[in-house]
Amino acid sequence: MEYEAGHTPEVSVIIPVYNNEAYIGETLNSLKAQTFADFEALCIDDGSSDHSAEIIQNHEAADPRFHYIYQENAGAGPARNHGLRKARGKYISFLDGDDLYDPNFLKRMVEALERTQADVCICERENFNSGNGQIMFRGNRYQRFEENRLYPAKDLTDGYYDLMTVFCWDKMFRHSFLQSHPYEFQSLRHSNDVAFVCSTMAAAGTVCFVKECLVRYRKGTGVSTQDHVVKYPLCAIEAFDQARENVYLLHEGDAAWQKAIDQRCANAFFNTFKKTVNDDRACREVYDAFVNRYETAWKFREKPLSYFGTMDLRFKMWCYRRVSYEALRKAYLKMYRESGTKKRITDLILPYGELLISSLFPHSHPRG
């Protein structure tokens, strides 16, 4: 497709790239294969030291829709912010430098936004093994929603942040909406899109859904997410702390929205505790940060257990309030394998039982 000089693309796709030479070519080819052609791809090179720049520049030379933009290394969050400042499209989407779009991603998402006039469109995703291409997971979060239907976000606040992922790359945003709510990505080692997504989803007046898996998330690249979390254990909690501040400011006095983000913040603590449980230093750092700062800052001590939504979260919070760090970590070590994946339900009976007994007969507790 040929475009006149000064043409404004329908979609701007923002791609942060850092040393992705093994995958960026395939990622950009998944954009070239789109059945919807009116887009610009803004490839933000975050100071790569490999051949990523050369690969992107070859695409740029062959196709005017692709743009190479360099910045000094600052992280994926600032790279996405850089892309947002450059974007010209009516709609905005994000794609990581090693992931893939289904050929119909742009077409289906734009059609849904055009039909519904929603602020944000969300689709399902699938995880695939980088080595053999095998599908490891297929999302089904949104199957209960009707396609081509406009949903007021305020009607979804009950469990809103359990329903929505906190990824930016399974969504398409109306650019004018983002300009009206100029939240930014954080400069964190990981989880840098959490505050942006939680805040924009709270600001959105309306959302719509596409029930197909239109984004392919790459797993098994040799870079362990688990190791990254252990090395920087507080990133996710810091991200949700910022998200909570933004949502509370945006929906001041709105108990439903505040409860929704509080429940997600509590889940963030327990999820991070789980991911770091095999490393005593990192796990203790997460626990101490929650006990000494966030539990008080988030005013969780004064909340009844019923405030925390699901029975699973209520039980975790109930036990947390009654047992020591050592007892909680011991139970989690039994509940989760080294990879952080959940065991069979029968494997959970003993550690949950031990945790329950510990909580009924607590020993000395750091919070008194």
What's the pLDDT band for 364 if we cut at 50, 70, 90?
very low
Q: What is the β-pairing status of strands 91-94 and 11-17?
A: parallel
Global pTM value: 0.92
Q: What is the mean pLDDT of the chain?
A: 91
Q: Nearest CA to 83 among 13, 9, 27, 170?
A: 13
Cβ atoms 84, 178 nearer than 8 A: yes
Render pLDDT for 16-60 as a digit per residue (tens, 0 to 9): 999 999 999 999 999 999 999 999 999 999 999 999 999 999 999
| Residue 323, pLDDT score | 87
pLDDT value for 43: 98
Percent of residues, the chain, with pLDDT higher than 70: 89
Q: What pLDDT does residue 360 have? A: 63
Q: Which of 56, 55, 59, 46 is nearest to 16 (CA)?
A: 46
All domains in the chain, ordered by first residue: 11-223 (3.90.550.10), 256-360 (no CATH)
Query: What pLDDT is recorded for position 362?
Result: 56
Radius of gyration of the chain from its Cα atoms, rounded to whole angstroms: 22
Residues 6 or more apart whose Cβ sits within 8 Å of residue 60 = 43, 66, 67, 68
pLDDT of residue 368: 41
Note the pLDDT tens digit of each residue in 79-134: 999 999 999 999 999 999 999 999 999 999 999 999 999 999 999 999 999 999 99
Pull the structure tokens for residue 22.
């093994």
Looking at residue 358, its pLDDT comes to 65
* DSSP string for 79-121: HHHHHHHH--SSEEEE--TT-EE-TTHHHHHHHHHHHH--SEE
